[in-house]
């Protein structure tokens, strides 16, 4: 089953990324993670399919060449409909420098919360 963010969820994620980065316009790219401890786990955009560690300490960045559009096409969820996606947030200036990361948590197939690096929980579902 795939998680496909709604228009409202996309707006929430983008707003949190802009706020965390301190820019009105940002480029948001999802990453893929690889397990550092289990070579049998897949390399995936959904960190919940790669790691059981709540801090992802047993993972590392594999690739951040994916785009927002790749994310919005859908992310495979776990059997219990969870997904965790870590986004790299870049400014839209000529240099396109990495500003921050935001991570989304999907529970039951719906966006549950958004956390920003250094910001903590920025949005949570009521």
| Band of residue 27 on the pLDDT scale cut at 50, 70, 90 | very high
Q: Residue 84 forms beta bridges with which residues?
A: 105
Name which residue leads in pLDDT, 46 or 93.
Answer: 46
Q: What is the pLDDT of residues 34-68, one digit of tens each?
A: 999 988 888 999 999 999 888 889 999 888 778 99
Domain count, the chain: 1
User: What does the pLDDT average to over 75-90?
Assistant: 96
Flag whether pLDDT at 95 surpasses 90. Answer: no
Using an 8 Å Cβ cutoff, are 26 and 122 in contact? no
Compute φ and ψ for 20, nearest 5 degrees.
Answer: -65, -40
Q: What is the pLDDT of residues 10-21, one digit of tens each?
A: 999 999 999 999
% of the chain exceeding 70 in pLDDT: 100
Q: What pLDDT does 106 receive?
A: 98
Look at the pTM and tell me if it is higher than 0.75. Answer: yes
Flag whether pLDDT at 111 surpasses 80. Answer: yes
Task: Say which residues have a Cβ less than 8 Å from residue 58's Cβ, sequence separation at least 6.
Answer: 35, 36, 37, 38, 51
Two structure tokens written together for 84 = 């965790």
Flag whether pLDDT at 96 surpasses 80. Answer: yes
**Which residue's structure tokens are 């966006």?**
111
Give the residue numbers spanning the domain of 40: 2-124
Compute φ and ψ for 44, nearest 5 degrees.
Answer: -155, 155
């Amino acid at each position: 089953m795939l998680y496909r963010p709604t228009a409202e969820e996309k707006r929430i994620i983008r707003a949190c990324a802009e706020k965390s980065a301190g820019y009105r316009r940002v480029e948001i790219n999802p990453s893929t993670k690889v397990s550092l401890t289990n070579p049998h786990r897949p390399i995936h955009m959904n960190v919940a399919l790669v790691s059981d560690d709540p801090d992802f300490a047993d993972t590392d960045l594999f690739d951040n060449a994916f785009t927002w559009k790749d994310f919005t096409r859908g992310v495979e969820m776990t059997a219990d409909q969870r997904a965790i996606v870590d986004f790299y947030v870049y400014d839209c200036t000529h240099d396109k420098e990495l500003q921050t990361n935001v991570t989304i948590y999907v529970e039951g197939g719906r966006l549950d919360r958004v956390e920003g690096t250094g910001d903590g929980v920025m949005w949570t579902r009521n």
